[in-house]
Amino acid sequence: MKVSLFVTCLVDMFQANVGKDMVEVLERFGCELTFPQGQVCCGQPAYNSGYVEESKAAMKNMIQTFEEAEYVVTPSGSCATMFKEYPRIFKGDSEWEPRAEKLAGKTYEFTEFLVEVLQVEATGAKLEGKATYHPSCHMTRLLGVKDAPMKLLNEVEGLELITLPNAHNCCGFGGTFSVKMGPISEQMVDEKVASAELTGADYLIGADCGCLMNIKGRMERKGKPVRVMHIAEVLNSR
Amino acid sequence: MAMKFSTEDFKERIKENIGDDFMRKAVAGAQERLHTRRLDAAEELGNWEEWRSHGEEIRQHVLENLDYYLHQLSENVASRGGHVFFAKTGEEASRYIKEVIQKKEGKKVVKSKSMVTEEIHLNACLEEAGCEVIETDLGEYILQVDDHDPPSHIVAPALHKNKEQIRDVFAQKLDYDRTSKPEELAMHAREMLRKEFLTADIGITGCNFAIAETGSVTLVTNEGNARLVSALPKTQITVMGMERIVPSFEEFEVLVSLLTRSAVGQKLTSYVTALTGPQGEGDVDGPEDFHLVIVDNGRSRILGTEFQSVLQCIRCAACVNVCPVYRHIGGHSYGSIYSGPIGAVLSPLLGGYDDFKELPYASTLCAACTDACPVKIPLHELLHKHRQVIVEKEGRAPVSEKLAMKAFGLGAASNPLYQMGSKVASTVMKPLTKNDRISKGPGPLKAWTELREFPAPEKERFRDWFTHHQKEKGDGKS
Nearest chain A Cα to B372, which residue? A141
Q: Is A217 on the interface with B (CB under 8 A)?
A: yes
Element at B92 (helix H, strand E): helix B90-103
- For testing contact with chain B, the best of A10, A27, A51, A189 (most B CBs within 10 A): A51
Predicted local confidence at residue B431, as pLDDT? 86
For chain A, give the mean pLDDT. Answer: 97
Give whole-number Cα distances, B167 to B147, B158, B161, in Å.
15, 13, 10
For A167, counting Cβ atoms within 10 Å of its Cβ (0-12 exposed, 13-18 middle, 19+ buried), the class is middle
Predicted local confidence at residue B26, as pLDDT? 94
Q: Which of B289, B212, B208, B203 is nearest to B249 (CA)?
A: B212
Q: Is A73 on the interface with B (CB under 8 A)?
A: no
- For testing contact with chain A, the best of B364, B393, B394, B403 (most A CBs within 10 A): B364
Partner-chain residue, chosen from B32, B448, B463, that has the shortest CB–CB distance to A179: B448
Question: pLDDT of B54-67, one tens digit each?
Answer: 999 999 999 999 99
Q: Which strands sit side by side in the sheet containing A126-133, from one edge to the other?
A: A157-162, A126-133, A203-206, A227-230
Predicted local confidence at residue B477, as pLDDT? 47
Residue contact A217–B390, C-beta within 8 A? no
How does strand A203-206 pair with strand A157-162? unpaired
Put simply, the chain A residues between 111 and 140 with a CB less than 8 A from any chain B CB are 137-138
- For testing contact with chain A, the best of B420, B451, B465 (most A CBs within 10 A): B451
Put simply, the chain B residues between 337 and 376 with a CB less than 8 A from any chain A CB are 361-368, 370-371
Residue contact B478–A35, C-beta within 8 A? yes
Q: Is A43 on the interface with B (CB under 8 A)?
A: yes
Chain A, chain B: beta-carbon pairs less than 8 Å apart: 204
- Residue B219, strand partner residues: B273
**What distance in Å separates residue A228's CA from the closest CA in chain B?**
13
Residue contact A61–B414, C-beta within 8 A? yes
Residue A135 has pLDDT above 70, yes or no: yes
Tell me if B125 is assigned to a ligand binding site.
no
Estimate the crossing angle of helix B399-413 against helix A52-65, to 10 degrees.
10
- What does the alpha-carbon distance between residue A61 and residue B73 come to, in Å, rounded to a whole number? 53
Residue contact A61–B415, C-beta within 8 A? yes
Question: pLDDT of B328-387, one tens digit each?
Answer: 999 999 999 999 999 999 999 999 999 999 999 999 999 999 999 999 999 999 999 999
Q: Is A44 on the interface with B (CB under 8 A)?
A: no
- Residue B292, strand partner residues: B84, B238
Predicted local confidence at residue B475, as pLDDT? 57
Q: Is A181 on the interface with B (CB under 8 A)?
A: yes
Residue contact A54–B408, C-beta within 8 A? yes
Question: pLDDT of B285-320, one tens digit each?
Answer: 889 999 999 999 999 999 999 999 999 999 999 999
DSSP string for residues in B24-40:
HHHHHHHHHHHHHHHHH
Q: Is B421 on the interface with A (CB under 8 A)?
A: no
Residue contact B368–A169, C-beta within 8 A? yes
User: Using 50, 70 and 90 to split pLDDT, how confident is the model at B413?
Assistant: confident
Residue contact B458–A15, C-beta within 8 A? yes
User: Using 50, 70 and 90 to split pLDDT, how confident is the model at B2?
Assistant: low
Question: pLDDT of B18-52, one tens digit each?
Answer: 999 999 999 999 999 999 999 999 999 999 999 99
Predicted local confidence at residue B325, as pLDDT? 98
Q: Please say whether the beta carbons of A152 and A114 come within 8 A.
A: yes
- Residue B4, strand partner residues: B336
Q: Is A89 on the interface with B (CB under 8 A)?
A: no
**What distance in Å separates residue B18's CA from the closest CA in chain A?**
8
- What does the alpha-carbon distance between residue B319 and residue B339 come to, in Å, rounded to a whole number? 10
Q: Is A60 on the interface with B (CB under 8 A)?
A: yes
Question: pLDDT of B89-112, one tens digit each?
Answer: 999 999 999 999 999 999 999 999
Tell me if B131 is assigned to a ligand binding site.
no
Predicted local confidence at residue B476, as pLDDT? 47
For A136, counting Cβ atoms within 10 Å of its Cβ (0-12 exposed, 13-18 middle, 19+ buried), the class is buried
Report helix, strand or coil for B461. Answer: coil
Q: Is B420 on the interface with A (CB under 8 A)?
A: no
Residue contact A137–B390, C-beta within 8 A? no
Residue B436 has pLDDT above 80, yes or no: yes
Q: Which of A136, A132, A149 is nearest to A210 (CA)?
A: A136
Q: Which strands sit side by side in the sheet containing B454-455, from one edge to the other?
A: B433-434, B437-438, B454-455
Q: Please say whether the beta carbons of B394 and B387 come within 8 A.
A: no
Domains, chain A, ranges and CATH?
Answer: 2-116 (3.40.50), 122-235 (3.40.50)
- What does the alpha-carbon distance between residue B292 and residue B77 come to, in Å, rounded to a whole number? 8
Tell me if B207 is assigned to a ligand binding site.
no
**Residues of B in Cβ contact (< 8 Å) with A43:** 412
Angle of CA points A128, A130, A133, to nearest 5°: 120
Put simply, the chain B residues between 28 and 47 with a CB less than 8 A from any chain A CB are 32, 35
How does strand B454-455 pair with strand B437-438? antiparallel
Q: Over range B140-154, report the average pLDDT.
A: 95
Predicted local confidence at residue B282, as pLDDT? 86
Residue B478 has pLDDT above 60, yes or no: no
**Residues of A in Cβ contact (< 8 Å) with B410:** 57
Domains, chain B, ranges and CATH?
Answer: 51-301 (3.40.50.10420), 399-473 (no CATH)
Q: Is B393 on the interface with A (CB under 8 A)?
A: no
Partner-chain residue, chosen from B366, B405, B453, that has the shortest CB–CB distance to A51: B405
